[in-house]
Amino acid sequence: MGRVKRSGLDAIWRPRSVAVVGASSRVGSIGREVLKNLVAGDFAGKVFPVNSARDVVLAMKAYRRVSDIPDPVDLAVIVVPKAEVPRVIADCGRKGVGGVVIVTAGFREVGGDGVELERRVAALLTRHRMRAIGPNCMGVIHTDPDVRLNASFARVSPPAGNVAFLSQSGALGEAILGNAAERGLGISVFASLGNQVDVTASDMLEMLEHDARTEVVLLYQESFGDPRRFPSIAKRVSRRKPLIAVKSGRTAAGARAAFSHTGSLAGGEIAVDALFDDCGVVRVTSVEDLFDVAHAFAYQPLPAGDRVAIVTNAGGPGILAADACASLGLSIATLANKTVRRLRPRVSPDASLRNPIDLVASAGPSSYAAAVPEVLRDPNVDALLVIFVPPVMIDAPEVARAIVEARAVERRKPVTTCFMGFGEGAEEGLAILRAARIPTYAFPESAAKAMHAMASYAAWRRRPEGRAPRVRANAAAARRAMVGLRRARGTSLEHGLALLEAYGIEVVPTRFAKRREEVVACAREIGYPVALKIDSPSVVHKSDVGGVATDLRDAVDVLRALERMPRVRGARYAIQRMIRGARETIMGMVTDPAFGPLIMFGLGGVYVEVLRDVAFKVHPLTEPDAHELLARIRGAALLDGPRGEPPVDKRALRDTLLRLSALVTDFPDLAEIEINPFLASPRRSPSVAVDIRIKLGQLGDPQ
């Protein structure tokens, strides 16, 4: 038979025929469940059971091998024992099958022989040019009415909708589908990716980018199948539709911590946080939050800003909602005077019209019908959270209907609701809201998290993309500095500062000397006051061993400082001009094993690991990236000049970060760079690098 594969992933996601290899009639077997789901789901194509020992499975004619099937086969779902998987894939290849879903487990995830078995599978897939999902997965679901594919062993069939879900965990995928069905969250595509031997999350995102039925993508990730490819794809897709992710597998910092502050600060999930932030991926910390946030994105428009209004009939929940919003960084909107004037005669005299807007416990459908549209029309409001605690005397379903009708006057702003309590009619009220695609939550904090996620994502979408600027460097000087650094294994302060200068990064005036009289002469040449420090590859943190002396005002101070410093064989001394009135900052780069270089900025000095006030961005930096790095640290206000002090030259800081990023691009064997401190001065004063540490990787390592 000729090949039936058309293009891309069509054989998996739009098959015209499916073979279930390992189909079974045995109750409780995976082979039975997959076959049953395909038939019960009313698959739009042909289904062929394959069983090496039976001619009939679930009243359907069965075949011993895929190659025995007389018709073309687009997709094969493999549920045979792991040792038989390579034979089945080879048979599928001879048949011309375009795609396979390998449900079978026992491969790389168990280690040992499973690793080699997965390599054999990968080689066969390449040889036969087949696309594959799995192994170690629970299958795929596509609810498109033209396809109706449920090639999984899921016990719950989710309703069709606009949300795609990509899960690396099969067991979690089962729970997700059940939760989605319970909450009424419609699924467009579900993929249990398993070990990602071939098809990765990146491949799926490329497919979903142009899928008109998918408006929101949910991801559960334990690892990244192709981490260097994921950022560019995720960033592009996020510009079109939101990606919401739970990433598990948080780990502690590794051995890099011993070399520099930068390395120790970049441990754990810093790289993933930086990656998701750069790509506009909304990261949540639990599956519950994943669903809470997904409901808001799936059903509501994005807000134009972060100003939230709260309408409630109970003061306590309203205050909780306001506190939750404020703690997440959302703004509590101030109602326009016109809104207050219009509302006052239409609600209880006891109502408070300051945000949160408390309509009081007696508020019924008419009060909500008056308040919701007026608040939504308010130009100072970007989003609305409506809270209702059902009292005995108020008809909860009627309140829900009033909210639904009132919401119709302004559909450009998102609305979430919180129906608290389980009074009479509460469940019916919730059903009315859900049917109208208005997200509802049990508690105000959950609604606030969803609002914050939407506002943050909308702000990311509004942010200009930017490009990494071209930086003119002195290439010859940079090469000379790198030769010196390689000879010194990255530990030469002199060559490190020379490398920065080659890229236009200003450094503090510095001289190097070995003998006492040379040190004094260099200090006189630079001009007092000066700083003195040991320059030796055996000293990692100079201040920790008494290897730094500052504010030396004459030759006597210099000689006394030399006497106090530890004796280090082969060490030189760096003599540097003292810079006053500057802020100590830190900037650098560390190479993450998965994602490559990360650029860091923060408050510097000797307490950097105590304060840990730093931010990371994935390399290369764009101009908006550099601007955001400065704004993201907790102590950003210190750069603006607290208590009347002059602000630092932020333009110089941004320019330096962009030049550092260009340097990292040009030299792939740089594993870590730390400039600490980089002294940020007010405008019209020099902002300069004072100290630098560099760790070299393997020459030619890809970044």
Q: Measured between alpha carbons, how far is 56 from 28 in angstroms, rounded to an integer?
A: 18
**Residues 498, 603, 654, 456: is their CA dihedral positive or negative?**
positive
Span between the terminal Cα atoms of the chain, in Å: 44
| 557 pLDDT tier (thresholds 50, 70, 90) | very high
Whether 84 is covered by a domain: the verdict is yes
CATH code at 197? 3.40.50.261
Pick the last residue of a domain from 285, 312, 335: 285
Name the domain boundary from 87, 118, 153: 153
Q: Do 3 and 124 reside in the same domain of the chain?
A: yes
Pick from 545, 542, 535: nearest CA to 570: 535
409 pLDDT more than 80 = yes
What confidence tier does 422 reach under pLDDT thresholds 50, 70, 90?
A: low
303-312, 457-466, 601-610, 675-684: lowest mean pLDDT where? 601-610
Would 656 be classed as within a structural domain?
A: yes
Distance CA 214, CA 296 (A): 15
Distance between alpha carbon 291 and the CA centroid of its chain, in Å? 17
Percentage of residues in the chain having pLDDT higher than 90: 68
Query: What integer pLDDT is reported at residue 655 of this predicted model?
Result: 96
The answer to whether the CB of 547 falls within 8 A of the CB of 499 is no
Q: What pLDDT, in 10s, does the model give residues 201-235?
A: 999 999 999 999 999 999 988 777 677 788 889 99
Res. 419 pLDDT band, cuts 50 70 90: confident
Domain endpoint, select from 153, 169, 186? 153
Q: How far apart are CA 349 and CA 340, in angstroms?
A: 12
- Give pLDDT, residue 540: 62
Same domain, 332 and 417: yes
Q: Which residues 6+ apart lie within 8 Å of 631 measured at CB?
A: none
One-character DSSP codes across 518-533: HHHHHHHHH-SSEEEE
**Residue 490 belongs to some domain of the structure:** no
> What kind and span of H or E run contains 261?
helix 261-265
Mean pLDDT, range 560-570, rounded to an integer: 84
- 56 and 184 both lie in a single domain: no
Same domain, 48 and 123: yes
Q: Which residue has the tokens 């510095």?
A: 510
DSSP code of 646?
P
Q: Is the pLDDT of residue 256 over 70?
A: no
Token pair of 371 as six digits: 């308040």
CA dist., res. 208 & res. 175, Å (int): 22
Residue 374 lies in a domain: yes
Q: Is the pLDDT of residue 285 over 90?
A: no
Pair type for strands 670-680 and 583-592: antiparallel
4 and 19 assigned to the same domain: yes
Q: Write the CA distances from 50 to 35, 377, 415, 521, integer angstroms.
A: 10, 61, 50, 88
Query: Residue 264 — very low, low, confident or very high, per pLDDT cuts 50/70/90?
Result: very low
Q: In the predicted model, is pLDDT for residue 7 greater than 50?
A: no
The Cα–Cα gap between 218 and 177 comes to: 12
* 260 shares a domain with 320: no
Rounded to an integer, what is the distance from CA 327 to the centroid of its chain?
21
Q: Tell whether the model's pLDDT for residue 268 goes beyond 90.
A: no
Alpha-carbon distances of 495 from 206, 216, 490, 514, 694, rounded to whole Å: 44, 50, 8, 16, 10
More confident residue, 491 or 161: 161
Residue 159, amino acid:
P
Assign 539 a pLDDT band (cuts: 50, 70, 90): low
Nearest in space to 536 (alpha carbons), one of 478, 483, 489, 501 = 489
DSSP state of 619: S
Which pLDDT score, from 0 to 100, does residue 252 have? 43
Q: How much is the pLDDT for 467? A: 83
For residues 115-129, average pLDDT: 96
Q: Do residues 265 and 254 make contact, with C-beta atoms less than 8 angstroms apart?
A: no
Number of domains forming the structure of the chain: 5
Is there a single domain that holds both residue 526 and residue 377? no
Cα(39)–Cα(23) distance, integer angstroms:
12
Query: Are the CB atoms for 451 and 383 separated by under 8 Å?
Result: yes
CB 217 within 8 A of CB 254: no
For the chain, the C-alpha Rg in angstroms (whole number) is: 31
**Integer Cα distance of 105 and 95 in angstroms:** 24
Let me know whether 180 and 324 are in one domain.
Answer: no
**What confidence tens digit (pLDDT) does each residue in 44-68 have?**
999 999 999 999 999 999 999 999 9
d(CA 431, CA 400) in angstroms, rounded, equals 9
Residue 702 lies in a domain: no
Confidence band for 4, pLDDT divided at 50, 70 and 90? very low
Taking residues 686-694, what's their average pLDDT? Answer: 92
pLDDT of 260: 47
548 and 589 within one domain: no
Q: Which two tokens stand for residue 394?
A: 């108020």
Verify that 6 and 146 share a domain, yes or no: yes
- Can you give the pLDDT at residue 499? 96
Q: Are strands 160-167 and 216-221 parallel, antiparallel or unpaired?
A: parallel
Q: Which two tokens stand for residue 644?
A: 């009347």
The helix (H) or strand (E) run that includes residue 575 is: strand 572-577
Query: Which of 7-16, 416-425, 652-661 holds the top average pLDDT?
Result: 652-661
Which of 76-90, 251-265, 556-570, 652-666 has the weakest average pLDDT? 251-265
Query: Do 551 and 647 have their domain in common?
Result: no
pLDDT tens for each residue of 30-48: 999 999 999 999 999 999 9
Indicate the pLDDT class of residue 576, thresholds 50, 70 and 90. very high
Name which of 275-279, 330-334, 628-632 the model is least confident about: 275-279
Q: Is the distance from CB of 104 to CB of 85 less than 8 angstroms?
A: yes
| Average pLDDT for the chain | 89
Distance CA 305, CA 83 (A): 56
Write down the pLDDT at residue 395.
85
CA distance 490 to 667: 13
Neighbours of 250 (CB within 10 A): 9
259-268, 339-348, 489-498 — most confident range: 339-348
169 is a domain residue? yes
Q: Which residues pair with 152 in a beta bridge?
A: 139
Locate all alpha helices (DSSP H) within 408-529, ordered by sequence.
426-435, 444-462, 475-487, 493-502, 516-526
Range of the domain at 520: 509-578
Indicate which CATH number applies to the domain containing 30.
3.40.50.720
CATH number at residue 551: 3.30.1490.20
What single-letter amino acid sits at 638?
L
- CA–CA separation, 279 and 243 (whole Å): 9
Indicate if 424 and 327 belong to the same structural domain.
Answer: yes
Lookup result for tokens 């597998």: 249
The answer to whether position 500 is within a domain reads no
| Rounded CA separation 536/559 (Å) | 19
Average pLDDT estimate for 113-122: 96
Helix 230-238 to helix 201-209 angle (10° resolution) is 30
Residue in the block written with tokens 């730390």: 674
- Higher-scoring residue by pLDDT: 395, 444: 444
Q: What is the mean pLDDT of residues 188-201?
A: 94
* Closest by Cα among 41, 44, 51 to 20: 51
pLDDT of residue 581: 86
Q: Give residue 536's pLDDT band: very low, low, confident or very high (50, 70, 90).
A: confident
What letter does residue 147 receive in the DSSP assignment?
Answer: T
For 213, how many CA atoms within 13 A lie in the half-sphere containing its CB? 16
- Residue 273, pLDDT score: 83
590 or 1: whose pLDDT is higher? 590
Please compute the mean of the pLDDT values over residues 144-172 and round it to a whole number.
91
Q: Edge-to-edge, what's the strand order for the sheet holding 216-221?
A: 149-152, 139-142, 187-192, 160-167, 216-221, 243-247, 282-284
Residue 493 lies in a domain: no
